[in-house]
Every structure is written in structure tokens, then in C-alpha cells.
A and B are shown apart, each in its own frame.
Chain A
Amino acid sequence: MLLVEYGEGVNLEVNRKVHATAARLRKRPPAGVEDALPSYCSVAVIYNPLLTTLSELESAILRLEEISSAPGWIPSPRTVEVPVCYSGRYGPDIGFVAETSGLTIQEIIALHATPSYHIYAIGFAPGFCYLGGLDSRLFAPRLESPRAMVPAGSVGIAESQTGVYPLNSPGGWRIIGRTPLRLFAPERPEPFLYDAGDSIRFTSISAEDFEEIYRREKA
């Protein structure tokens, strides 16, 4: 594995370079490259030493950056809408966030559903997005002891992060809503709705809409 680093910290510009390189490597993999795994600041290039050498690989990656910086060569990032039913039984912790922030529930929903959140990286669980851009008024501490089971689709806040649980799993985030979408559907030809480098925008939906979309997704 060769780690190609583009900078440090949580930085949008650095992260865009990371995902552009990963997309180029996927579109036109140099000899011996098996996969390219992007995260915040780096791309891990997984290669087969039987088919390439480190120096060949390094120059191939540099060449790829030069010839492929033309716009349109790799797909532009998308913004994916994720409908969320906030509060009620789907967002058991929204009252807690209201208390700690001093905001009303309506204000919380408005603040959370306004920005488009950049997907810096996907990992930890299938389809789990590390998102950037949460409004600082919504920052909330994790639960003191994690829940044994958080239902798939739950939307949570932990400190300065927000995100969605793609699978039923244990978890300590403050849950403010839930999406009826199946974010990880392994049997679909495209198991995921988004890719790292895309953005997510949450839209607020009613409990009735939730039920209807949920039924459709399950079918």
C-alpha cells in the first residue's frame, strides 16, 4: 500500500484533491494498482508488487494527475437528498439537543436541514459517512453510555459531527431523526446512494411520508 498524502487536518480543498485522485485511479488504474481508498487527507493505493515497483507507481500517479486535470474527466460531485423525519419516536434525543442548545425543535430542524454536508470519507461501517459542516449551535455531547441498538437510518450528532447510521448497530450519538431510505442495500446493483466526495442534504419530512417511503424501500 502506498499512501499519497495531500495535506493535514479536516480541509475541504485537500479532501477534494484526495477524491479526485482516487476517482482518476479508479477510472484509469496504472499497472498493478488494485484499489484506491480515499479518506480525509490521503489516498491509500493498493498495489501488487509482482506487477509494479514503487517508483513506477509514483510516476504513474503523477502522470495521471497531469493528464487528467481537465474538467469533466472525472464525474463532478453530486448532492444527494436524504429525507429525515425529525423528532417524535424517530429522534428520541432532539429534546436533549434543544435543552443544551437553547434552541426550539423547529430551529434545530431548520439548522440541521439547511447546509449541504460534504462527505469527507466513508468507513467504520458500510456507507457510514464522515460529514463536515454541522452548525456549531447544534454541537452536543455523546450519550454517557451507548445504546445497545440504534436503528438503521438514525441521524445523530456527536460533538461537532453529524451522520447517519446505515445499519442497526450499537451507538452513542444523540439521535435527532431517522431517514426511511436504505443507505446500504447490498442486493442492489448500486448498494449505496452516494460516494465519498459527494454532499448530503437532509430534508425534513412528516411521519406519514416516512412510513410511505419506508414501505417503498422495503419492497
Chain B
Amino acid sequence: MSRPRSDVSSAGDPMRPADHADAAEPSGDVNQPALGFVGWLRWGWRQLTSMRTALVLLLLLAIAAVPGSLVPQRSADPNGVTQYFTDNPELAPVLDNLSMFDVYTSPWFSAIYILLFVSLVGCVIPRTKHHWKALRATPPRTPARLSRLDVHRTETLEYTDDQAAAAAASASIEAAQQQLKKAGYRVARDDSRGVLSVSAERGYMRETGNLVFHASLVGVLLAVGIGGGFTYTGQTVIIEGRTWVNTMLDYTSFNPGRFVDENSLTPYALTLDRFDVTYQPRGTQGEGQAGDFVANLTTQRAGGAPGSGEVRVNHPLEMAGDRIYLMGNGYAPTLTIRDAAGEVVFSESVPFLPQDTNMTSLGVVKVPDGLDEQMGLVGFFYPTQVQRQDGAFTSAYPALTNPVVTLDVYTGDLGIDGGVPRSVYTLDTGEMDKLTGRGTDVESIEIAPGETAELPGGLGSITFENEAPDGASGYDESVKRYVSLSVHRDAAATWVLVFAVLATAGLLAALFVPRRRMWVKATPQGHTVQLEYAGLARGEDPTLDAAVEQFVQRHLASLPDG
């Protein structure tokens, strides 16, 4: 369909890269580097800002992004990376050397997008300058031979005499000028030697849109880069009834951007009053599927009155510029351990990590003080305990129908005294002796809420506290729940969105606003007037034909009969 091929089109477009499809053919010496250092520099810059380079870099970017979906990434899936190292001990270190586990921060990926954006800026700046001038320039003069353009029509009108024809020629160009102007064209008269013509151009928004689009992409990149420095995310766990305070101490992990001051977090506190969840009833499709998670919180800002807030999936809580997300939940059985004399040496609600959709959960209890030796317990919590065919326990349903904790007891050195950080969810049994469970001749501890069991070797006892309020039925609410929350301050998100929306708007204009030139020329010849109409697409313009045709019809209809 219409696309400018004629020499007329290429003449006035120095703003586009030289190898743009619509640009003039290279005249041989154009791509040859001029002599000298500056010449080489200029040549290199022209290469970098050429369409072909942009294209190649775009394709490279697409290809370079793929490995990150094939191999687990440290940023998105750190456990996956650990697993990968275990599964592929030979291959993993090789891949690691190639930054395959950090593709999107790797030197080669960065090199591609940085080059792409340098090219982009190098491309956009000269075009912006040129477009700025074009916006205030008058449309180009009428070409001598309109018949060489993409679309061309001629009409011959007859009049009574020469004078009438001359007057009609002038009137028709006047009318054409008005009509084009009304249709959103910028118009200019171009009369010479008895030939009258109007030259018109429209669709400057196309180029504006293109520039806005490309510039907004730079905006997105800058927002991500700069905003990232002011962004932080932190994780924490709150058990029902407990309060969490927004200070470094209370986070289980915290990832600050470069410019974040960890000591000046906005002080506020959150108390988890209750965590709600519903499970698909047994015997229905999707049995046990959890949904409608809600963490009901009491919020308290420094010096303010307490308020209430909810955190749900898809609905984070806004708090002093932070957004608080619900990332997970689980059971936190309350366990009390007494020594042989009956003294309490440990009493806490211990968050157990869910292992499956029925909330079979893994937990660790560490008792560093109060006993002769340090003690550790590892075990499972089953909200609905059942026995599998092979004799092992599992949970058959995620709600509390038959809650049981099973624990194995270890004594020895917990390995936490050396100051080396240890996860609260793992027990390093290297320096410890196993006292119960497989490999020993003592059964594992197995207790339901409200029950107490003896610890082996006369060490004392352990109680699984029943937390149900008075009047609760069955085991409802007998075990506390906890939520894991993620606290985010994202300085970039808003700006990224603004630039993304700008980019889309620019793109719409750049792709769908037709940019075209139109000329109407009137040549009086004796008692006739020859009217010529011509249209030229500048860029993709599938409707040029129809637009010229429509204009011709309207223009002819508006002329007084000769």
C-alpha cells in the first residue's frame, strides 16, 4: 500500500537514521569513515545510532532475556538455585561463572541494554531537535511534477472565458486552503508564474508520539535505576496476638536500596488480632483449597490513635508510605517446656513452615538455656493428622480437625553461641545426640493441644498448650496462626507507571496518526482550469488513497459551477 518511495519524500528527513527505510539511498561515500580520529568517532556514533544497530540490539535483548527463564534466578527463586547446584554439581558452577543465575544483572545483559539506551538517546536527541524546528516550519513547496507522487488526481473544469477561469482557479485554491486547514493540516500558499497551489501537511503528532514513546522508555529505565536506590523490602512474621514494630530489630530480613537510611524508618506498630482463611469443604471440587485470606491488624503510628487494617491477597495495606503484603501463613503451636523440677525453661508459639497444601508443617524448637545441656526439637505439625499406608503421618486437611505435633529431641550444642547466624527453621544436629525417633529406641513425642508428654531421659516435660478461647468447639482455634508479611517502600513504582502510560500514549500516536502531505494545484489554461491533487505518505499510511479521494470529492462539491 502507500509508502513513500519517491525522491520527494527522502529529501526532507534528515532526522531519521541514515538507514531508515524511507531515507535516501546511501551515496557510496556516506558510510566511509572520514580520515582522522574525529572522523572515526563520528562514524562509530552513526553506526551506534543507526536503525540496524537498534534492531540488532533489540533482538539481542530478546535472546539474552531467555536464559533467565530456563535457569532459576537468585533474585526470584534463591531456593531453586540451591537446588540446581545440588542437582547439577558439574554444570552449575560453569553456569554461575557466566552469571546464568543472575541474568538480569549480569555484565552481558547490562551491556546490551545500556548500549541500546545509549543508541536510543543518540537517536532521539537529534530527532527531537529536528522535530522542534519542523513544528514551526511551513509545509514544503509544491513539487513541480505532482504526478510523480504516491497519489495523484487531475480534474479539468471548463469556464465561459479566460477571466472566469482565472478567478475560479484562485477561488478553488482559496477553498482548498480553508478546507485543508479545517481538516487539521498546516497550510501554505505557493504561487508562481500563473500557477496557484496550496501545500499542506498534517500528522506532526506521529513524530511527537514516537519521540515521547522512546523518551518514556528512557524514563522507565531511569525511574527503575534511581528509584531502586530508595526502595526497600523487609520480611517479618507476626503471630496472632503479637505486635510487630517497624524497626530493623523486628525484621527477619531486610533488603535496602543504596540510599535507604536504615535508622530512620517511620515508626509504627502492627498487631495481628486474627488471621482468617476459608478452606473448600471436604467432598467438593478443590477440597482443602485455601482462600479469602485476611490478616486483621491493629495499626498504631507513633503518637497516633490505634486504627485497624486488613491485609489481603491483591490488597496490600498502605501504612506511612509503605505497602504491606501478605506473603504466607501457617500454624504456630504454643509449646511449654519444663525441666525435671517443673520450672518453665521455654514457652513460646513457634511458627511451623507449611510443607504442603494440607498444611503439614515443619518446625524447630531451640532451648539454649535452663537445662544442663542445650536442647533442640525438630518435628511436624499436622492440623488433621492421618496415617499413610507406609505408616508415616501426614495431614489430610488444612483446618484443625485433629491437630497433632510430633517431635524428636536432640541434646548437645545448638551451635548458636558462636555468633554465626542460624535460621530459626533449621536445626544443625552435627554436634547433638538424638534421643527419640528413628535410630533410637525411644518413640517420638506425639501430643495434641492440651496434652503433655515426658521428655526422654528424665529431662522434664513438654506441653502443647490449647489456645482455644472458652466455649470453642472441638479443636477450633486451639492452635495460633501466624502470617508472614512483606513490607515494601517502592519509590520507583509510581514513576514507572507514569512513564509506561506516557509511552503507551506516545505509541498510539506514533503508530496510528497518519502523517501526510497534500497539495492542490490550479493551472488556468485558456478558459479551463486544471486542478491537480496529490498526496504523499510519510511513514505507514494505509488510508492515504481514501483521504485524497475524499478531499477531492469534497473540494469539487464546494466549487461553484463554471
Same complex origin of A and B: no
Binding site for A on B (CB under 8 A): none
Binding site for B on A (CB under 8 A): none
